[in-house]
Amino acid sequence: MPTLNLVLVEPQIPQNTGNIARTCAATGARLHLVGPMGFTIDDKKLKRAGLDYWHLLDITYYENTEDFFRRNAGGEFFYFTTKGRRIHSEVAFPHNAYLVFGREDAGLPEPLLFDHPDRCVRLPMITQARSLNLSNTVAVAAYEALRQWGYPELSSAGQLTKYKWEDKQLG
């Protein structure tokens, strides 16, 4: 099965990281947390945002970006940034891709972006807006990659709690 890798570089807001952890848990994506972070991993706000999904997570921690890139050498990285010139839905994400996101207040380092212009990806938005919320951006990006892959091993049909869909005619 293909693996989606969601990478947060120096996240600063625990609620965002908790929301992203929940997205990872619900989609089977791996979460990579690259330090230094603006909070401790046992932060109550982080745990509250992730709710009771922590047991479903595959998390790897890194001291810094050098540690991350060293331990994941050979990976295919896509850098999500408001400075990107490629639209997320126009990029073909390969299996086992790493979708990399920067700090809420500063984004990814510009030297990293400058060195990889073809891998800098953005979500379209009006020019007057600075950016989307990090956890929203990660969710949109993750689901675009998963859509391209046919939503591997994800359930695409839900069930009602008091009724059976089979009892209802569609159309």
Does 102 count as an annotated binding residue?
yes
Residue 120 near residue 82, CB atoms below 8 Å: no
Does 123 count as an annotated binding residue?
yes
**106: buried, middle or exposed (CB in 10 Å: 19+, 13-18, 0-12)?**
exposed
Cα-based distances in Å from 169 to 42, 75, 161: 48, 47, 18
Which residues lie below 8 Å from residue 164, measured CB to CB, with a gap of 6+? none
Does 156 count as an annotated binding residue?
no
Task: Retrieve residue 121's tokens.
Answer: 């990806």
| Nearest-angstrom CA–CA distance, 82 and 62 | 24
> Residues marked as binding?
102, 123, 131
> Residues marked as binding for S-adenosyl-L-methionine?
102, 123, 131
